């Protein structure tokens, strides 16, 4: 149930965030590297994953079994910092802490059914959420990135950042 509501709730949260955020130049500068790291991680992961047809273990999937969710979490934390508003930070971060664990468990059960041996071995080597950096097998495909429509994250990132910058300028910096 909550998994189906995450996208509509995301739009509601975005409206609240954009309305209540009080970004300043310094908070944008502080949160921007975190958000950029999240967007880049998501982009790298989207260029690797071929949902349900092959187990993704290369690229950022060699660091964490859930680079898309970890990247989204970093984006969320980055925008929470940029917002300079505790209510906004809570609206952004709490849903991640509630929704992601459940979604990850369900997706991992699905992957174990699809790729039983490979997935168990993969779980033994790679942490579930927080990355363990190390070996990195490059396997990014721009075609796959586009097929997964990850450019929507880049567009959303740019739009929210633009709104935050405009709000910052109207707040006096």
How much of the chain exceeds pLDDT 90, in percent? 53
Q: What is the CATH number of the domain that holds 134?
A: 1.20.120
Instruction: Look at residue 7 in the predicted model and tell me its pLDDT.
Output: 66
Residue 86: C-alpha distances to residues 53, 75, 156 (Å): 41, 16, 22
Report whether 18 contacts 161 (CB < 8 A).
no
pLDDT tens for 106-145 read 999 999 999 998 999 999 999 999 999 887 777 888 898 8
Residue 31: which domain range? 2-170
Task: Give the helix ranges, DSSP H, for 21-57.
Answer: 25-46
Q: What's the structural domain count of the chain?
A: 1
Residue 6: which residues within 8 A CB-CB, separation 6 or more? 95, 99, 103
Report pLDDT digits (tens) over 141-164: 889 888 888 888 888 899 989 999
Per-residue pLDDT, 173:
63
Q: Is 84 helix (H, G, I), strand (E, B) or coil?
A: coil
Asked if the model's pLDDT at residue 15 lies above 70, the reply is yes
Q: Residue 11: which pLDDT band, with cuts at 50, 70 and 90?
A: confident
Residues ≥6 apart with Cβ < 8 Å to 87: 20
CB 23 within 8 A of CB 134: no
* Whole-number percent of the chain with pLDDT over 70: 95
């Amino acid at each position: 149930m909550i998994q189906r509501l995450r996208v509509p709730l995301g739009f509601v949260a975005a409206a609240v965030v954009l309305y209540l955020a009080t970004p300043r130049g310094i908070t944008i500068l502080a949160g921007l590297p975190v958000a950029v790291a999240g967007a880049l991680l998501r982009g790298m992961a989207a260029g690797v994953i071929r949902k349900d047809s092959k187990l993704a273990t290369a690229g950022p999937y060699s660091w964490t079994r859930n680079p898309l969710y970890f990247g989204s979490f970093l984006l969320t934390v980055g925008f929470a910092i940029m917002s300079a508003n505790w209510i906004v930070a809570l609206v952004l971060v709490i849903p991640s802490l509630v929704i992601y664990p459940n979604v990850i468990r369900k997706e991992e059960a699905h992957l174990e059914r699809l790729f039983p041996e490979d997935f168990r071995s993969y779980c033994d080597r790679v942490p579930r959420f927080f990355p363990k950096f190390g070996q990195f097998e490059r396997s990014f495909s721009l075609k796959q990135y586009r097929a997964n429509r990850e450019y929507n994250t880049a567009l959303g990132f740019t739009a929210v950042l633009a709104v935050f910058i405009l709000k910052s300028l109207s707040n006096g910096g």
